[in-house]
Amino acid sequence: MKYFPKEFHKADNNPRLSRKTVRRIDKAYLRNLKAYYHALQKLSGRLPVSAWRFFRPGPRFESLHDATLLSFEVGDAMTAPSNGKSFNPRKFKHSVKVRFLNYERDRLYTFRYHGVVAVTFDFPSSDPLHYTRGSKIGDQLVDEIVALDDRTLRHEHFFESGAELRIDFERLATTVSRLKK
């Protein structure tokens, strides 16, 4: 992650760090947060309104902090008919769909990525955070979206276990569904 590296989260959960080190890391985090919001403003025209509402900072900011990853799907023809009818696989392009349940358990967030260039899912992480063999992916700690070039964006998700999900893509669609409790 460019703005919220794993080192920030490792330090945040390390009781052996000195107060001076913690303050230095906290300052770096705040600097990066400000830089991230500045970079994010430049992406407003590249994201659909529904996605921009999710990522933009401000009073109605919505967060996936502590959200649960419900599903992560990758496929070459995810929108193909599932009723057994034949279809031409050349008409479909690979895509990714990721679904999260927020911490309050009252909203379902769905991200659909199109024009996918690359997908990486590092789990179990080669550099774990809170993970022992057989434990779950864990809550999402942070996510960020950045521009790689004038066509490609990257959305990265970082989880409690240290797992990382990275998706490089050209187009994004998001939906938020309110759930009844």
pLDDT greater than 60 at residue 165: yes
In the chain, the percentage of residues whose pLDDT exceeds 70 is 90
pLDDT of residue 159: 92
- Res 12: pLDDT: 74
Mean pLDDT of 95-110: 94
pLDDT for 89:
67
* pLDDT band, residue 181 (cuts 50/70/90): confident
What is the band of 50 on the pLDDT scale with cuts at 50, 70, 90? confident
Within 10 angstroms of residue 181's Cβ, the number of other Cβ atoms is 6
- Integer Cα distance of 142 and 163 in angstroms: 11
| Whether pLDDT at 161 is above 80 | yes
| Secondary structure element (H or E) that encloses residue 144, with its range | strand 140-147
Q: What is the pLDDT of residue 157?
A: 95
If you average pLDDT over residues 29-36, what whole number do you get?
A: 94
How far is the C-alpha of 93 from the C-alpha of 98, rounded, in Å? 17
Confidence of residue 49 (pLDDT cuts 50, 70, 90): confident
pLDDT at 97 over 90: yes
CA triple 31-34-39, angle to 5 deg: 120
- Tell me the whole-structure pTM to 2 decimals: 0.86
Mean pLDDT in residue range 16-34:
90
Say yes or no to pLDDT of 135 above 90: no
Question: Percent of the chain scored above 90 by pLDDT?
Answer: 50
Residue 16 pLDDT class (50, 70, 90 cuts): confident
Element (H, E) at 155: strand 153-159
Give the mean pLDDT of 77-103: 78
